[in-house]
Structure 1
Amino acid sequence: MLEVLEFLNVCFKNTVIYGLTSHSHLLLFNNNNSEDYYVSLVGYKSKYYNEFIIEYLLSSDKSPWEGAVVKGGTAELEDFKKMIIISMTESGGWKDNPELEDCFKNYKS
């Protein structure tokens, strides 16, 4: 999970991202006053095991019902980074954020 934090720090030099962590879970928030998380990250990595799981809330304009989520997973850190950027974008939690838009363009190509 430290690699994920390093990735977020490199991509978002000017954007404040709030996180709540417990064991191998990290919830990402766009502000410090909300109980509504936008992206949930779970990472398990050891010498023998490597799994990353992500879940994000659909934005209200894309959600078929309140609280609908998208969930996925991968064993590759690079794929997980791409999934984080897509999740942050699609959740709508960091709308109109130029750093996220730049990262999204890079990972989309």
Structure 2
Amino acid sequence: MEESRNIIRITNRLTIHEDDLEESFIRSSGPGGQNVNKVSTAVQLRFHAARSGLPEDVLSRLFKLAGQKGTKDGDILIEANRFRTQERNREDARDRMIA
């Protein structure tokens, strides 16, 4: 039962483990006024795609779509800073990764 909480469903047949994601919170240059200089509200989401166990054809397509957001280490980086709160930016980064 606990393992299902650590799995993110991408499609009916495709899932990834939460362990393959790494989040960093950084200062944002987006909306937020003076708060933007004091609080790390932007999120950088790193998906360790190469070690995720996804099929090769899926990985190939994923890196083609990622373009410059794909790293030589097999990771995909997504930055989210559209919102004023860390939680909303975190949700945005995960939603964009799944889409």
Higher helix proportion = 2
TM-score (norm 2): 0.39
Higher strand proportion = 1
Higher CA-based Rg: 2
**Greater relative contact order, per chain length (Cα 8 Å cut-off, separation 6+):** 2
